[in-house]
Amino acid sequence: MANRVGVIDYGGGNLRNVLNVLKFLGHEGSLVSSPPDLEKVDRLVFPGVGSFGDCVAELDRKKLRDPVVDWVKGDRPYFGICLGYQVLFERSQETPETRGLGLFPGEVVHFPAQKGLKVPHMGWNQVNKVDPDYFVWKGTPDPLYLYFVHSYYPRPEETSLIASTTSYGEDFASSISRGRTFAGQFHPERSQEAGLQLIRNFLDTPL
């Protein structure tokens, strides 16, 4: 049976890609642009391309901040992609004056300047699973490679949140999980079959 999947409309440019992937997997996604839209969905995907400040400002303009916070606190299925991962934290070096959703303690930081390290981090990289038995990793290759495009990444204060790490100049938390919340810095919608499997697993999460 097809899931009712909401895709947060934060004004970014990759919403259509995510909707197309959901359709390919047999699920009709719908854009969530206002609080009442959340009443029509069972699962929430928050994709993200752009700046932390603009993304959060759009959430606030559409009065979606508190409903998204309540959704995650209520342990309802949530899949955050890139910015949809970063906004879960308290703050970002990208726009220090902007308050994130603050669901988890920590800061989104910029990759440090290092010789030979190109920023943004762009392309395929290995994702090292902390718990290979975690449901989102089910059926994924080992080693697992996913596609990244980012200059910033979250630094969670709670290490128990970390679901995977990736190395780029240093090891960083490439995803987190808690209950039915999963969020990662990579783009599963651009990661071919391995990425599709992550989304399938999320869609199979029991409600």
Based on the residue annotation, tell me whether 187 is a catalytic residue of this protein: yes
Catalytic residue among 55, 94, 121, 189: 189
Catalytic residue among 27, 121, 150, 187: 187
Based on the residue annotation, tell me whether 193 is a catalytic residue of this protein: no
Q: Which of 119, 123, 164 is nearest to 147 (CA)?
A: 123
Which is it for the CA torsion 43, 48, 51, 55, positive or negative?
negative
**Which residues fall within 8 angstroms of residue 136, CB to CB, at 6 or more apart?**
163, 177, 182, 198, 201, 202
Under a CB-based contact definition with an 8 Å cutoff, are residues 55 and 100 in contact?
no
Phi-psi domain of 59 (left: phi exceeds 0; alpha: psi -120 through 50; beta: other): alpha
Based on the residue annotation, tell me whether 28 is a catalytic residue of this protein: no
Say whether 165 sits in a helix, a strand or coil. strand
Catalytic residue among 55, 82, 121, 150: 82
Angle at 91 between CA 89 and CA 92, to 5 degrees: 110
Under a CB-based contact definition with an 8 Å cutoff, are residues 169 and 112 in contact?
yes
Give the catalytic positions in this structure.
Answer: 82, 187, 189
